[in-house]
Amino acid sequence: MSDLDQQLKEAFALADLSNFKWLTDAEIKALPKPIKKGSMSVPLDKETFEEMRDATVFTGHWATQARQVMKRARLFRVEVRMYQIGVKEPIQAMAVMKRPDTVHVMWKAIGEASGFIMSENKDAEWDAIRSKAVVKV
């Protein structure tokens, strides 16, 4: 496990995110395949929640069966990928829900993860256009 992964795990263990389990690299590799095809991709380059919500892109079942996917309590997973300017690989954090809930609780996880990544890399310049959160189920 990388040092950043360990720091993410420790930081989110202290946060009030009791329904989320932040994963290590090994746990990410061991995840089963999602039960629904596609995802909800949230751009992180917007100023307000409403702008982020309106710019969200849905693919697969998320686009064709949106109400069924999002309204039902499920074990959603969220991956936040943030890119530094001039760096090819993202800094990322991934979480899964411990108990089924609706997709709306994922907004808090996205905010917490992106805020933590930025606070741990204070001198970094972020490529906001490439940075995003991807939610699957």
Instruction: Report the pLDDT value the prediction gives residue 56, as an integer from 0 to 100.
Output: 94
pLDDT at 104 exceeding the cut of 90: no
Q: Which amino acid is at 49?
A: F
pLDDT score, position 40: 95
Q: How many domains does the chain have?
A: 1
| Residue position matching structure tokens 């741990």 | 120
What percent of the chain is predicted at pLDDT more than 70? 87
3-class DSSP state of 60? coil
Q: Looking up tokens 């939610």, which residue turns up?
A: 135
CB contact at 8 A, 123 and 84? no
Quick check: helix, strand or coil at residue 79? strand
- What the block records as the tokens of 47 is 């100023």
Domain encompassing residue 60: 3-136
Q: Which of 41-50, 80-89, 128-137 has the lowest mean pLDDT?
A: 41-50
Query: Comparing 9 with 110, which gets the higher pLDDT?
Result: 110
Contact 7, 120 (CB under 8 A): yes
Question: In the structure, what pLDDT confidence band is assigned to residue 114 with cuts at 50, 70 and 90?
Answer: confident
Q: Which tens digit of pLDDT belongs to each residue from 30-69? A: 999 999 999 999 999 988 888 988 999 999 999 999 989 9
